[in-house]
Every structure is written in C-alpha cells, then in structure tokens.
Structure 1
C-alpha cells in the first residue's frame, strides 16, 4: 500500500451517501422556518384542511381521496410537523451561532472603545496638569508688576 503524501490532497472517495452543502441546506431551512412562522402559512394550511374536510364530507364516495380520508389527512399533517420541527431547530441553531459571533464582535468593540476612552481620559488629565503648570496672563502681569516695584523704589 503506497504511503500518503502530505503535500498533495487526498483523492475523493466515491460514496453512496448523498452529498449536500451544509450552508445551502441551512439557508433553505431558515427560509422554510421563516415561512412556517407567518400568517400566510397558517391561512394556506387552514384553507387546505378546510378544503380537504369539505371535499371528503360533501363529495360522492367514489370521488373522495380514500376510504378513511381523515386518517390520511392526519398522516400528512403529522409528516409536515415532523419535518417542520427539525427545520425550525436548525434555523434556531444557526441564529444562535450568528448571535454568539455578533456578541463576541460587540464585546471586542466595547473593549476597544473602553481602552480608547481610558486613553483619552489620561490624555485630558495630562493636558490639564500641563495647563495647570503654565503661566497665565494674570500671573505674568503680577510678576511684572512686582518686578517693576522692586526696581523703582518709592
């Protein structure tokens, strides 16, 4: 058996398992979950169930969907619910992952803002100290007046 080379990619192995892109599937599940959470979906589902019930009550026995049509309706609704729940959970998990990443970015931005604010606070304090040590106009005038008084005796 030849040794695998680390500087070359592995050959793709054929598999009977279906291949799908997790990102595409995740986006599709989010779109479905968004639709399932709308009033439009509830209206569509209500109209479908009402039509099913009315058809299977009013229509002649030969035109009905099945001998026991409401069992088949229950089966279809159960199947729809069994696919809806995992799709909704997948969409929620993707949203939680996005929220976690956004929270981390917010925390980093908050830390950077805090560090910048502390730096600016230190700079302002340094400027205040420097300004406090500077000679003001009034101080210079008083010093000049004192110097003139010392020169000219009265």
Structure 2
C-alpha cells in the first residue's frame, strides 16, 4: 500500500506525463422527474390564476408596507426585499420555462417522426392498392360483362319460348288429327315436325279424306 502511494506521488511529480484530471462528484438528479416538475411549474406560471394571485400579493405588499405602522413594516419604501424576491423568481422561471420548452420540442420531434413513418406506410399501402386495382381492371377486361351475359340469357330465353310455342302447336295439331299407327310394331306415335319425321298416309286414308 505504501509502495503504491509512493509510485503515485512520483508519477504526479514527473513533468513528462500529464496529470490526471480530478473529477468532482456532483449530486445527480433524475432528469425525467425534474423535467416533469419544471413543466408543472411552467404550466402554472402560464395561467391567468398565477397572474391574478401575483398581482394580489404585490398589491397587499405595497399597502402593508405603506399604510401599516412603521414598527410593523418589514419592507419600507423602495421595497428592496420585494425587488429581490421578484428577481429570484425571474431568474428561476426563465430556466424552468426553457427546460419545459426543450421537453416539448423533444415530444414534437418524436411525434413528427411518427407521423412521417405513418405517412410513408400509408403511401406504400396506397400504391399497393392502386396496383391491385389496375390488375383487377386488366383481368376484368377479359371477363364477360354483365350486359353481355344479360343479352345472351335474353336470347336463350327467346329461343326457348319459340321452341315451346312450336311444340305446343304440333301437339295441338296431333290432337286434332288423332293417333296414327306407324312403324312395324303398330305403335301410335304422333308426327313430329321438329324431328323431320313425316309418315306417309295410306291410300285408304286418302280415299276416306277425299
């Protein structure tokens, strides 16, 4: 231990080596808690209540030290003590207000960065949706539209109505003429003009009709 002290002393006495700076151990405070406290004071000083209360206190100070008996006046005319109090208040209020403004600036910067990040994300989403909509439009250009399907269905319905009408006419015609025996098995089968089946009538039937 003694040798270490001697070595340190010799080192401090040498001129070819710089001295190590002595560090003062200052008390440290929580910057977040102190910042919140300063913001509270700055908000309180920036209200109408503070101005009204301060005006009332100063007016009472003036009246007491002017109208009260001389033995009871603690700050006679020229009000030196009041001037000192107001100077101390101003000297402390300015740094507290600056500290509160710095914290507000930091919050504004963080909010601005967050807004910028959200704007970038929204822009990317908008561009993606625009590309998707364009792709859907291109794909829909090759698909049958609603008007086309409606016209095709209407045409098919008209054709089915015409076919049903012709079928009803043929059935009525066969019912008025009666059953005809055609084929080798002697089955009664009505004549179907749609299928192109026109059975020939026998000579007896022609003579009977004549």
Counterpart Cα distance in 2 of 1:69 and 1:52: 12
State the shift of 1:71 in Å: 1.2
User: Would you say 1:122 and 2:131 are equivalent positions?
Assistant: yes
State the shift of 1:17 in Å: 2.1
Corresponding position of 1:19: 28
Q: Which runs of 5+ in 2 are unaligned?
A: 5-23, 157-210
Give the paired residue count.
132
2:107 to 98, 107, 113: 98
State the secondary structure of the residue aligned to 2:28.
coil
- Runs of 4+ off more than 3 Å: 66-69
State the shift of 1:67 in Å: 4.7
TM-score if structure 1 supplies the norm length? 0.78
2:43 to 23, 34, 38: 34
CA RMSD, Structure 1 to Structure 2 (Å): 2.4
TM-score if structure 2 supplies the norm length? 0.58
Higher relative contact order structure (alpha carbons within 8 Å, sequence separation ≥ 6): 1
State the shift of 1:16 in Å: 5.0
Counterpart Cα distance in 2 of 1:36 and 1:49: 16
Q: Which runs of 5+ in 1 are unaligned?
A: 2-14, 146-154
State the shift of 1:61 in Å: 1.1
